[in-house]
Amino acid sequence: MPASDMRYVYDFTEGGMKQKDLLGGKGANLAEMTRMGLPVPPGFTITTDACRHFLTEGAPPADLSDQVHAALRLLEQQAGRALGSESDPLLVSVRSGAKFSMPGMMDTVLDIGLNDTTVPAVAERTGDAHFAWDSYRRLIQMFAKTVLGVPGGLFEEALDRAVRDNGLTADVDLPVAALQELVAEYQGLVLRETGAEFPQDPDRQLMMAILAVFESWNTDRARLYRRQERIPHDLGTAVNVQMMVFGNLGEDSGTGVAFTRDPATGASGVYGDYLADAQGEDVVSGIRNTLPLAALGELDPAAYQQLLSIMSQLEEHYRDLCDIEFTIQEGVLWMLQTRIGKRTAAAAFRIAVHLVDEGLIDMDEAMRRVTGQQLSQLMFPQFDLTQGAAVLTTGMGASPGAATGVIVFDSETAVARAAGGEESILVRRETNPDDLPGMVAAAGILTSRGGKTSHAAVVARGMGKTAVCGAEELDIDYDAGTVTLAGGEVLREGDTISIDGASGKVYAGRLPVAPSAVVKYFDGGIDAAYDHADAPTRDLVSAVDRIMRHADEVRRLGVRANADTAEDADRARRMGAGGIGLCRTEHMFLGERKHLVEQLILAESVAEREAAFAELLPLQRKDFIRILERMDGLPVTIRLLDPPLHEFLPDLTELSVRVAVAEQRGESQQNDLRLLAAVRRHHEANPMLGLRGVRLGLVLPGLFALQVRAIAEAACFRQRLGGDPRAEIMIPLVGSVQELELVIDEAAGVLRSVAESHGCSLQFPIGTMIELPRAALTAGQIAEAAEFFSFGTNDLTQTTWGFSRDDVEANFFSAYLERGVFGVSPFESIDEAGVGRLVRLAADEGRAVRPTLGLGVCGEHGGDPDSVGFFDRAGLDYVSCSPFRVPVARLAAGRSALPDSSDADTR
CA dihedral 287→453→291→488, nearest 10 degrees, is: -60
User: Are 639 and 582 within 8 A, CB to CB?
Assistant: yes
Helix (H) or strand (E) holding 90: strand 89-90
**What is the length of the chain?**
907
758 catalytic residue (yes or no) = no
Helix (H) or strand (E) holding 749: helix 737-758
CA dist 21 to 106, 223, 777, Å? 17, 18, 38
DSSP annotation of 643: S
At residue 505, the 3 state secondary structure works out as strand
Give 542: exposed, middle or buried? Use CB within 10 Å, 0-12, 13-18, 19+: middle
- Distance of alpha carbon 46 from alpha carbon 27, whole angstroms: 9
User: Are 730 and 692 within 8 A, CB to CB?
Assistant: no
Q: What are the residues whose beta carbons fall under 8 Å from the beta carbon of 756, sequence distance 6 or more?
A: none
Ordered DSSP codes for 30-88? HHHHHHTT-----EEEE-HHHHHHHHHHSS--TTHHHHHHHHHHHHHHHHT-EET-SSS
Provide the pairing of β-strand 82-83 with 396-399: unpaired
455 catalytic residue (yes or no) = yes
- Distance of alpha carbon 167 from alpha carbon 175, whole angstroms: 11
- Distance of alpha carbon 158 from alpha carbon 833, whole angstroms: 53
Q: Which among 322, 858, 861, 881 is annotated as catalytic?
A: 858
- Distance of alpha carbon 182 from alpha carbon 177, whole angstroms: 9
H helix intervals, 555-650:
566-574, 594-602, 606-630
Helix (H) or strand (E) holding 124: helix 118-126
Q: Which among 455, 550, 646, 861 is annotated as catalytic?
A: 455
Amino acid symbol at 194:
T
Residue positions annotated with a catalytic role: 455, 858
